[in-house]
Structure 1
Amino acid sequence: MATAQPRWQPPPEPSESVRARLPQLSVYNSLTRSKTPFVPLDVEGRKVGWYACGPTVYDDSHLGHARNYVSTDIIRRILSDYFKFHVTFVMNITDVDDKIILAARQQHLLSQWLAKRTSVDSEVRDATTKAFRAYVEKNLPLVAGESTPEAWNQHADKAYGHVLNGQSAAKDGSPPGDAEAKIKMHLRTAGSAAEGLSLSNPSMPAFVAKASGVLLPHIDALEKHTIDSKDHDVFTKLTKRYEQRFFDDMAALNVRSPDQVTRVTEYGPQIVDFVKQIEQNGFAYENEGSVYYDTQSWEATGGVYARLEPWNRNDKELQQDGEGSLSTKKTGFKRSGADFALWKASKDGEPSWESPWGEGRPGWHIECSAMASDVLGKQFDIHSGGIDLAFPHHDNELGQSEAYWSKSGKDSKQWVNYFLHMGHLSIQGSKMSKSLKNFTTIREALAKGDWTPRGLRIVFLLGAWRDGLEITGEVVKAGRAWEDKVDNLFLKVRDVQQRQERLRNLTNGATNGVHRGSIIEDSLGSVADELDTAKDNFRDALCDSFDTPTAMRVISDLITHYNSQRPNTVPDTVALDLGRWVTEMIVVFGLDTDYKPSQLGWSGLDIPDKAKPFVVPLSQLRDRVREQAKSGAVDITTLGKFDDKDTIYASNQPYANAYANFQRKLVQLGDQHAPAKDFLAACDYVRDKELWDLAIYLEDRDSLPALIRPLSQSHRDERSSQHAATASKTAAKEQAKADAEAADRKKLEQGKVSPLEIFRTSEFSAWDAEGLPTHDAEGKEVAKSRGKKLRKEWERQRKLHEAWVTAAAGQRANSGS
């Protein structure tokens, strides 16, 4: 056997001048499974070729896709905007594969079947019942023998209740994962169909919404032979729609568009030629119209297969997942179990293209090899995708691409130098997946307000791009805290900027410069030095394989230091420098979808333009009132001339009404010569109620005007927590009061019995005139010590009885009045 090529071939050493210009950047490279110095193939060290595996477009994109593509976008922005590389970013759209073919064909055939039926008659019910049983038989074997829609819930709970309760399917104590998520998906689908079949007189749309999950595979099995394999519109009608929705979602998340998009359906002839070349080079063979990559032949010439994850090369489950529909085919003809399909012979219901091996379609992996090689050439710098693509997809791409470009593995050039794999987003231990149907779509999350584009990106930035991420309450809380901290910084430095602008206007363009008092000098050195240090630390973090968690912490620590300075002790020039640098870095990270050049801070810090003519003067008036109230009294005649309240009201605008209401309240309080505390209460009310309801918050500051800002989610969360705490305290007080009243009632009820009667029991045989026992049941005289105890009990009962008599008399008097 020929000497094998190394697992990784470092890029050529750049010239000394180029090396001096390149950043000291290292990236975690899946090919080396370590951090590797980043050196582009471009001899000038400027251009970077990058191919990213795009989506398989047959459904809406979910938050797991957001994790992949937003993290990819962050790294792309760092390379291009921070390190100033000229990145050519190519993304493919998989618009033909087993999942797409199945989804598109099923939807097409079901729509045709439904078009011939207008009501839920016996034929529709019979077909759906058969579909239900077939679905359960295939996917839920533990309940298959008892799969009647009428008793579905009972049988499903008996067979899979442990999975629904969070256990593993095997009941072995292991945590649930993808297998359990798949079982839950099938239970939901079957349960929905059973519910639809139980409806007595449903409309067709309502019935189909419940039963489509079982009808789709059933109708497909009956009708797929009717599909014309040359009619590609059957399939692209679905993929074109979801491709557009994918790019709409990416735009909403501020993900930059690719420089070039490639689609499988547009590369049919090129893919055929690509497979032919691999076969001619001796690294592929044909069987019944399908063509397979020959791993043994490649390795016999010195090539390396499965360089990314060699430990998975014999994993049959992963291999089957990569082969799709071919995984059910007998594989005795394969020369090696690791061999995989480059070209697939088309079956009934599948699209096809002409080829030397007959009508067929591309294998899953070959599409990326052909398209990336066509656009970026024999070698390029970066290939990226989710971590689940490392094997078999990317390992197969590597093998077949190098087999295309070389006649010998020993002499082949490394097709890709750096593989970047993004970590998964998971839900309760299971990755978010279309096939598992356990996902929240991007558009749903944004529409409901669960996430904002900025909030989601912050959470991803706070985690390492290559690590898995599970969304928890702590993760969400950390993201909001970081966002609030930066929000507050930008509000402060914008306030400084506005103060400088007012000063320039007053002094005809001159500025006050930097004051040199001792406190100012200390702050100048302290904050300015911290800013310089932060810039260095930030760069070091990004050079360390795009370590965004550390970079985000650098920004946070810098803001903490700035906030720790005493008010008005940081020179305006330093504060503005700090604000501009943080702005530049958040723009590099893509945290502002509406950023405008020369803008200080990110968008979303301003209240609506229509609010400003009313809220700004309201806030200024409120500041003057609070200043006087804190000194002990308010004289409204010194507050300045009020605007015409009736004119303001006439504008019929809620912000105007808030302003007018506040003025009227001040006039009312002034006419009443109200104390200062009432004026402060009015100031709190307009802040905490009227403006709060308009999503505007006034942040009061010592010796400075209140900051006018939009209401943030953290403000809402904080108030919700306060309300919850108050409600909890109120409930506790009410419960304590109720318990006390119940105890009082119980105590009062105990007094219903007269002290003359309490001891007249079988325990005693004689009593005195007050009802106190004198002899026990056997006729013996009660001992003096016991008599004293009985007397104490008697006295307690006498008092209770007197209280009861008094209460009863009061009730009778009240009822008679």
Structure 2
Amino acid sequence: MIELHDSLSGQRQPLKTLEPDHVRLYVCGVTAYDYCHLGHARVMIVFDMFVRYLRAIGWRVTYVRNVTDIDDKIINRANETGETPEAISTRFTEAMREDEAALGLKAPSAEPTATGHVDQIIAMIERLIENGAAYASDNGDVYYDVSTFDNYGALSGRRLADLRAGERIAVNEAKTDPLDFVLWKAAKPDEPSWDSPWGQGRPGWHIECSAMSTHCLGASFDIHGGGLDLQFPHHENEIAQSEAATGQRYVTTWMHNGFVTVDDEKMSKSLGNFLTIRDVLAKYDAESVRYFVLSTHYRSPLAYNVDAMDAATSALSRLYTALRDVAPNDAQSEAADAYEARFTDAMADDLNTPAAIAVLFEMARDCQRLKQDDCQAAGAIAARLALLAGRIGLLEQSPQVFLQGHAGEEGLSADTIEAMLQERRDARAAKNFARADEIRDALTAQNIVLEDGPDGTLWRRG
């Protein structure tokens, strides 16, 4: 039985679904106005891991992750570049999909867009007005009336009185309460707009996710996920407007992954530490990035720095080294069964991937030890190691591809390394050991590790 931390209750609760054996999951996706950054990568990888694991252990999963393709940020970027908002959102949505593929992620079951659900958004706003939870202002905007929802603030642990402290309503403000939030924005000149009962306009940000999630998954569904930065006000507002529109509980379990810091500071463009997924993948293998993300519990802060990424690459290399030169088999193994039970227990404990990965390292050490004495037993452990790691998206390459594959921006290519190794073999054959040592030293300086053995020399990237 998997237990998950629910952000709304603050408690662990067993994974129970509205439909037997079927998990319906919605995750807030990107606003398509720029390249995806490291924070986006964490959300993508965490929930890709979750979906893979659920499917691997027998659950059916419908995974919906939206794209916000109309928003103030998109319009502002379009004004800066001279492109249309549609061109901006299309370009960066495609870039997101390229990044997703580069990270080795599986595509969601559905990827709805805000512009593709304007009819559903308008219909939901109409229901909110009918139910007395929203109102149209004289300027053509439509607002949600926060005072009508008794549980507003429960997700983020905030009280209306505290939120209102110090607030003032501007003289020209169309809202009746400073906390009310916009559902529909009246059209401005040269901005995209749609017909509505309140005139030309476009959706507010929060209503988009409520309309898309309930359209794709139903008025009530099992899990809603996203980054911790979305907990307030975005997810808080989603709960209020969704439940006021449908009269049903919106989501059973809320999951939020922690923040990402870069060199111990919050990532931001103003600090000059803003890293896109493409920046990181230029230096590190995608699986190293995945390992780095999963080596920290999804709810904890994730600290990115060069040392942490190098450590992740080195750790993953040790796992792949254990699988090298061993033939996996399906022989019965009590040791492998015991490891699997511990791995499963770790994952059942709110997706404790650090503990699950620790089990993988014990298996790797066991496999390395058995290689010399019991090939059959080593093969059984190796097969189970690859199986369990695959459930969270690790160790899916061949050892040789990973250990020799990612050169980074300035690293030596595999062809160059092989040519240098051939020159070293020729030098040793000619008893020119000084030259052979020079080549080894040159490779070591490029972080290439050589392992001489009776069957020749193996190499890997350090």
TM-score (norm 2): 0.87
Deviations 1:618-655 (A, max 9, x none): xxxxxxxxxxxxxxxxxxxxxxxxxxxxxxxxxx9985
Aligned-partner residue type, residue 157 of structure 2: P
2:17 to 15, 36, 40: 40
1:423 matched to 2:222? The reply is no
Aligned pairs (5 A) from 1:381-396? 381-396=222-237
Q: What SS class does the counterpart of residue 57 from structure 1 fall into? A: coil
1:479 matched to 2:312? The reply is yes
Aligned to 1:264: 114
Aligned-partner residue type, residue 452 of structure 1: D
Deviations 1:212-263 (A, max 9, x none): xxxxxxxxxxxxxxxxxxxxxx211111001000110111011111111111
**TM superposition shift of 1:559:** 2.3
Identify the structure with the greater helix proportion. 1
Q: What SS class does the counterpart of residue 439 from structure 1 fall into? A: coil
RMSD: 3.4
Contact between 1:314 and 1:337, CA under 8 Å: does it hold in 2?
Answer: no
1:274 to 124, 130, 134: 124
**TM superposition shift of 1:429:** 4.5
1:350 matched to 2:211? The reply is no
Taking structure 1 as reference, are residues 535 and 76 closer, same or farther at Cα in structure 2, changes over 3 Å only? same
Aligned to 1:246: 96
Q: What SS class does the counterpart of residue 307 from structure 1 fall into? A: coil
Aligned pairs (5 A) from 1:55-454? 55-81=30-56, 83-108=57-82, 234-287=84-137, 288-299=139-150, 304-311=151-158, 313=160, 330=171, 334-406=175-247, 413-433=248-268, 438-447=273-282, 449=283, 451-454=284-287
Aligned-partner residue type, residue 90 of structure 1: V
1:544 matched to 2:349? The reply is yes
Aligned pairs (5 A) from 1:461-476? 461-472=294-305, 474-476=307-309
Aligned-partner residue type, residue 59 of structure 2: F
Greater radius of gyration (CA): 1
Aligned pairs (5 A) from 1:519-534? 528-534=333-339
Aligned to 2:376: 573
Contact between 1:77 and 1:590, CA under 8 Å: does it hold in 2?
Answer: yes
Contact between 2:424 and 2:435, CA under 8 Å: does it hold in 1?
Answer: no
1:685 matched to 2:437? The reply is yes
1:460 matched to 2:258? The reply is no
Contact between 1:696 and 1:708, CA under 8 Å: does it hold in 2?
Answer: no
Contact between 2:26 and 2:213, CA under 8 Å: does it hold in 1?
Answer: yes
**TM superposition shift of 1:278:** 1.0
Contact between 1:306 and 1:399, CA under 8 Å: does it hold in 2?
Answer: no
Taking structure 1 as reference, are residues 422 and 61 closer, same or farther at Cα in structure 2, changes over 3 Å only? same
RCO comparison, higher one (Cα < 8 Å, 6+): 2
Taking structure 1 as reference, are residues 312 and 71 closer, same or farther at Cα in structure 2, changes over 3 Å only? farther
Deviations 1:709-760 (A, max 9, x none): 4x21x2xxxxxxxxxxxxxxxxxxxxxxxxxxxxxxxxxxxxxxxxxxxxxx
**TM superposition shift of 1:349:** 4.1
**TM superposition shift of 1:337:** 3.6
**TM superposition shift of 1:475:** 2.6
Contact between 1:432 and 1:438, CA under 8 Å: does it hold in 2?
Answer: yes
Taking structure 1 as reference, are residues 435 and 402 closer, same or farther at Cα in structure 2, changes over 3 Å only? farther
Aligned to 1:226: none
**TM superposition shift of 1:606:** 6.4
Contact between 2:261 and 2:267, CA under 8 Å: does it hold in 1?
Answer: yes
For this pair of structures, how many residues does the alignment match?
Answer: 452
Aligned-partner residue type, residue 685 of structure 1: D
1:588 matched to 2:395? The reply is no
**TM superposition shift of 1:706:** 4.8
Contact between 1:658 and 1:686, CA under 8 Å: does it hold in 2?
Answer: no
Structure 2 CA distance for aligned equivalents of residues 529 and 458 of structure 1: 27
The percentage of counterpart residues that share the same residue type is 32
Aligned pairs (5 A) from 1:615-764? 655=418, 659=422, 662-663=425-426, 666=429, 668-669=430-431, 681=433, 685=437, 688=440, 698-700=450-452, 705-706=455-456, 708-709=458-459, 711-712=460-461, 714=462
Q: What SS class does the counterpart of residue 263 from structure 1 fall into? A: coil
Gaps of 5+ in 1: 1-23, 112-233, 321-326, 407-412, 501-513, 515-523, 609-651, 670-677, 715-817
Taking structure 1 as reference, are residues 355 and 70 closer, same or farther at Cα in structure 2, changes over 3 Å only? same
Contact between 1:295 and 1:305, CA under 8 Å: does it hold in 2?
Answer: yes
Structure 1 CA distance for aligned equivalents of residues 165 and 270 of structure 2: 15
Structure 1 CA distance for aligned equivalents of residues 297 and 338 of structure 2: 22
Aligned-partner residue type, residue 31 of structure 1: L
Deviations 1:587-611 (A, max 9, x none): 2222356x4xxxx758424689xxx
**TM superposition shift of 1:438:** 4.1
Aligned-partner residue type, residue 71 of structure 1: V
Structure 2 CA distance for aligned equivalents of residues 422 and 535 of structure 1: 26
2:359 to 554, 567, 577: 554
Structure 1 CA distance for aligned equivalents of residues 217 and 423 of structure 2: 65
Deviations 1:671-690 (A, max 9, x none): xxxxxxx7xx4796387258
Deviations 1:374-394 (A, max 9, x none): 111111111111101011101
Taking structure 1 as reference, are residues 557 and 439 closer, same or farther at Cα in structure 2, changes over 3 Å only? same
1:29 matched to 2:6? The reply is yes
Structure 2 CA distance for aligned equivalents of residues 707 and 661 of structure 1: 10
Contact between 2:220 and 2:249, CA under 8 Å: does it hold in 1?
Answer: yes
Deviations 1:172-218 (A, max 9, x none): xxxxxxxxxxxxxxxxxxxxxxxxxxxxxxxxxxxxxxxxxxxxxxx
Contact between 1:27 and 1:38, CA under 8 Å: does it hold in 2?
Answer: yes
Q: What SS class does the counterpart of residue 123 from structure 2 fall into? A: helix
Structure 2 CA distance for aligned equivalents of residues 52 and 467 of structure 1: 18
Aligned to 2:409: none
Contact between 1:283 and 1:294, CA under 8 Å: does it hold in 2?
Answer: yes
Q: What SS class does the counterpart of residue 262 from structure 1 fall into? A: coil
**TM superposition shift of 1:435:** 8.2
Q: What SS class does the counterpart of residue 119 from structure 2 fall into? A: helix
Contact between 1:55 and 1:92, CA under 8 Å: does it hold in 2?
Answer: yes
Structure 1 CA distance for aligned equivalents of residues 8 and 99 of structure 2: 31
Taking structure 1 as reference, are residues 237 and 316 closer, same or farther at Cα in structure 2, changes over 3 Å only? farther
Contact between 1:384 and 1:420, CA under 8 Å: does it hold in 2?
Answer: yes
Contact between 2:360 and 2:389, CA under 8 Å: does it hold in 1?
Answer: no
Structure 1 CA distance for aligned equivalents of residues 45 and 96 of structure 2: 13
Aligned pairs (5 A) from 1:759-798? none
Taking structure 1 as reference, are residues 284 and 67 closer, same or farther at Cα in structure 2, changes over 3 Å only? same
**TM superposition shift of 1:59:** 0.8
**TM superposition shift of 1:555:** 1.0
Aligned-partner residue type, residue 458 of structure 2: I
Contact between 2:424 and 2:436, CA under 8 Å: does it hold in 1?
Answer: no
**TM superposition shift of 1:481:** 3.4
Q: What SS class does the counterpart of residue 149 from structure 2 fall into? A: helix
Structure 2 CA distance for aligned equivalents of residues 660 and 438 of structure 1: 42
**TM superposition shift of 1:84:** 1.8
Structure 1 CA distance for aligned equivalents of residues 121 and 443 of structure 2: 62
TM-score (norm 1): 0.51
Taking structure 1 as reference, are residues 684 and 658 closer, same or farther at Cα in structure 2, changes over 3 Å only? closer
Structure 2 CA distance for aligned equivalents of residues 488 and 269 of structure 1: 54
Structure 1 CA distance for aligned equivalents of residues 390 and 208 of structure 2: 34
Structure 2 CA distance for aligned equivalents of residues 653 and 316 of structure 1: 62
Aligned-partner residue type, residue 277 of structure 1: R
